[in-house]
Structures are given as structure tokens and as C-alpha cells.
Amino acid sequence: MTKRSLVTGGSGFIGSHLCERLLAQGHEVLCVDNFFTGRRANVEHLLDQKRFELLRHDITFPLYVEVDEIYNLACPASPIHYQFDPVQTTKTSVVGAINMLGLAKRLKIPVLQASTSEVYGDPTVHPQVEGYWGNVNPIGPRSCYDEGKRCAETLFFDYHRQHKMDIKVIRIFNTYGPRMHPNDGRVVSNFVVQALQGKDITIYGTGKQTRSFCFVDDLVEGMMKTMATKPGYTGPVNLGNPVEQTVGELANTVVRLVGSSSKVVYSDLPMDDPKQRKPDISKARAELNWEPRVPVEEGLKRTIAYFDDLLSRQSGQDTRGA
């Protein structure tokens, strides 16, 4: 029997890849997005498929559809975008979660929440395990996203306890790949675009802060494996790459892979920016039989190729730094 999957935030960077994979597995896909950060271009190649439907909708308003499972990805995920309208960011995480949980409750179907490593804040435990409660500033400029996602997790587990619902919660660590927004302010897209344009590469802080980068294909595989677990498996489960590197090391790798003349410059570190980020994925390995398989350099080459093509089409000329 063909499953009908609802993907909120489905025209975003991660959501569009998930829609693609679900279609490849024979699902019908209802992609819902308000296009605040998602882009129609990300799913345009899917529009001629009979099993794909695109609906413009903001999940802070109720949605009445008939589906078999819900992937709730809707929310701006980069600081530039989620701080642009912080009240709306919190509403998307909290009210959006209530609306999707209400829909799943009515239909008696599983619902997966795309949470984030940001629930750990600026962690005092390293690497981060799912049992760690986090170190989050509740009133800072990043709180709309961090606390919004933490509240969404609370709602998911309360609906599970109170209404016996089949919930799944994943915590996504830094993900990168084709279809990232070129102006989202994330470190990978920033560095790649700057290197391709031959501009200075801006590192915020000393560059000693660490991140762990997971290629989008690996993440989508982990999401689908989580959804496929039996009722009663709730998570939360970390999905990310346990290979840790400094931001400075990433900048040097990008410059080398692009073959750019870009120089590295330094700027002030934003408030509450985490100093370390590395997932412990023991649970994902044991419970989902999942771990990332795409090496960072291979993923970066594919990401660079995407941005090179995108920027070339935008400018009508070669974008590589001389």
C-alpha cells in the first residue's frame, strides 16, 4: 500500500532532499511550505511527478489533510533567518508543533519532529549525549530557536504520555549539502560562497570552535530510519557526524578544494555561539543501525559544485576566485 507522507518545510534545504527520497521509495508526498526560507526551485523538478503535491501553507495555522505519516521540519534554521522575526520563529516551533501533533492525533499516525543540537546550547558535556539537558540562555538572541525547539520536544513527549501518540524526535547536528541557501549565514555556505567569489573568508571568533558536519544524504537516511521504527520508539536520537573539526580547519579545506585565492579574516564571535559541537551517536548506531557514510571532503566537493553552478547561473560567468 502506498504511504502518503506530509513533509512540512518540504521545499527547504533538508526537506527537499527528504521529499525526493520518499518519492524514490514509492511514497505519495505532500510538501507544505510557506516559502519564508524554503524555495520553490528546490522542488521544481518534482512538480511533474503524479505522486508529488506542493501546498503553500504556514503551519502556525491548522492544516486539515489526510496522510499516513508526518515529518515536521518547518522552521527557519540559520541564525540570520530565525533572528529576522524571532516571535514568528518561536510560533513556528511551538504553535506549529501543536498543529502537527493535533493532526497526527486525529489521524492516529506517527509524527516525527526535526529538533536540533541547539537544544544543548553551549554545552558543558562533550560530546553531547541525548541524556544531557543542555546549557541554554533562555533570553538571548538565539533563544527563539533554541527554546522554541526545546518547547516543541516537551509538547511531543507530553502528547505521547497523555494521548499515547506515536512520536519520533531527532536532534539534527550541522548538516550541509546542495540546496543550502547561499545567504543563510551558516559556516559551510558562507565559506564556499566566499571562496568561489574570491572574497575574504570570514571566521567569527578565533576559529578554534568546533563543529561536526553531516552530509544531507546521510541525515535523510537517518530520518527515514527513525520514522520506520516501531511504535513506542520515541527518541530523542542524535543524527550527525561524530567527526569533529575546528571552523579554521574547515575554512582551509574549502579554500584548498575550491582552489581559491581567498584570505581568512576574523570577526567578533556572536553572542551565545557554542564553542563545541559533536554528537554522540551511540544510540543511532545501536537502535537505528545508522551512521554517516559520506566523508566530509567528498560532501564538500558536491556542495562546492552545486554553489559553483548556482552562482555561475546567477552571474552568467565563472565564479571561481582567481
CA angle 302, 250, 299 (to 5 degrees): 20
Please state, in angstroms and rounded to a whole number, the distance separating the CA atoms of residues 3 and 26.
8
Name the DSSP class of 142. Answer: T
- Phi and psi at residue 304, in whole multiples of 5°? -60, -45
Rounded distance between C-alpha atoms, residue 245 and residue 242, angstroms: 10
Q: Nearest to residue 28, comparing CAs of 55, 3, 9? A: 3
Known active-site residue 266: no
- Contact assessment for residue 265 and residue 205, using Cβ atoms and an 8 Å cutoff: no
SS3 40: helix
- The one-character DSSP state at 320 is S
CA distance 20 to 24: 6
* Nine cell digits for residue 183: 545567504
The three cell numbers of residue 146 are 533554541
CA pair distance 272, 258, nearest whole angstrom: 31
For residue 121, list its beta bridge partners: 135
Q: Which of 145, 159, 204, 266 is catalytic?
A: 145
Angstrom distance (rounded) from CA 303 to CA 322: 20
C-alpha dist (Å) from residue 132 to 56, 118, 128, 241, 280: 37, 12, 7, 18, 11
Give the per-residue SS3 of 53-89: EEEECCCCCCCCCCCCEEEECCCCCCHHHHCCCHHHH
Tell me the three state secondary structure of residue 275. coil
Residues with active-site annotation: 145
